[in-house]
Amino acid sequence: MYEFSFYLFVGCWGAIRYYYFFKKNHDAQYVEESFNVTSHQNKLLLQYFPYYRQLSEKGKKRFVLRTQQTIKSIIIQGKEGFVVTNDVKLLVGASIAQLTFGFSKPRLNELKAVLIFPDAFYSRLLRRWAKGLAFENGSVCLSWNHFLNGYEDSSDAINLGLHEFAHILRFEVFEETNEGLFSNPFVDNFKEWEDAGMPVFMNVRKGKEDFFRSYGGANTIEFFAVCIENFFEKPEVFKKELPYLYDKLCLLMQQDPLNTSKDYSFDEIDEFSLSPSSEQGYELWCSSIEQSIWNSVKSLAYATTFLIIFALTNHFIANPTIAEQGGFVYLRLFSASVLF
């Protein structure tokens, strides 16, 4: 009975590992392949999102699917008479999808609600007029007029949507949002990026760095948001002026806006400049196909290990000497540690 319980436990845990590392990815891929973008969605996104225009047909499907998944996970509400239409929801969701396109999940974990005003609004909390605000409770306030302006001029590195949603993304570092045993790559890599960006931030603050607008020197929170704006709207200049910081931001965001031929996939990095030192770091710079293969190999390795242990323990049970019984106990402990 004891041995049966042990094998039942190991089998159940193996099934869970299989689900997370293989079946879940396979199901998500099937949904993406069967999903269709409507002509209206395509037209609207082509009009406002240069980022979307550069995607392949498969990439466009993935982008719109992630946009819709994001919309379903948050509240989007109009204020001061602003009417939230499906087009409004699509553009808001697309802004988030652009920011998170390199992540495994499309949504921002800390984002709860987006409140949209027709134009600049007065904040009674801050006692001043504002175009956009992001709060640690997960709410974002946006001026719709300025939100659209950010996408109508995609070369000035001023994008209200990306800026405010970047604040929400950064809140994940403070909240340390992790799900169970699975790490959050953004949180794990943020400190490394922040260390790389600190000298640049100090130069912006002192007026010695003219690539970023001066607002980026207000504090490190605004600096990150301004970096994100430049990352998406001026990637060529960013890469040329500050290549090390740009590469670190690619690692952090798990996408490369310059890699338009591969849907911004972050799979071409300078190994010596980034120097990932862990398995998780290695996974970040694999392409999506390589990642799927790697997950499949890991699942196969777990299954093979279990079968070997199963065969050896059966041998020990059939030949119960004292030494072999000790080895059996050791193998059970070893198998548990491997599967965990």
CA distance 230 to 208: 18
Residue 112 sits at φ, ψ, to 5 deg, of -115, -40
At 127 the pLDDT is 94
Read off the tokens for 287: 């392409």
273 band by pLDDT with thresholds 50, 70 and 90: very low
Class of domain 35-286: alpha beta
Higher pLDDT, 191 or 301: 191
Q: Which of 249, 261, 260, 191 is nearest to 225 (CA)?
A: 249
- Pick from 196, 218, 197: which is nearest to 207 by CA? 218
pLDDT category at 172 given cuts 50, 70, 90 is confident
pLDDT above 70 for 9: no
pLDDT at 174: 73
Per-residue pLDDT, averaged over 15-40, amounts to: 58
What percent of the chain has a predicted confidence (pLDDT) above 70? Answer: 67
Q: Model confidence at 7, in pLDDT bands (50, 70, 90)?
A: low
What own/partner pairs with CB < 8 Å and gap ≥ 24 does 288-294 have? Answer: 292/25, 292/29
Q: Strand runs (DSSP E) across 11-92, as ranges?
A: 75-78
Identify the residue with better confidence: 286 or 225. Answer: 225
When the pLDDT of each residue in the chain is averaged and rounded to a whole number, the result is: 80
User: At residue 242, what are phi and psi to the nearest 5 degrees?
Assistant: -135, 70
Q: Domain spans of the chain?
A: 2-10+293-339, 35-286
Confidence (pLDDT) at 239: 97
> What number is the average pLDDT over the span 306-323?
61
- Position 185 scores a pLDDT of 79
Q: Which pLDDT does position 155 carry in this prediction?
A: 86
Going by pLDDT thresholds of 50, 70 and 90, the confidence category of residue 71 is very high
- Residue 66 or residue 27, greater confidence: 66
Instruction: Average the pLDDT over each of 74-78, 148-152, 272-276 and give the range with the smallest value.
Output: 272-276
Select the highest-mean-pLDDT range: 103-117, 137-151, 163-177.
Answer: 137-151
pTM exceeds 0.75 for this model: no
Q: Is the pLDDT score of 25 beyond 50?
A: no
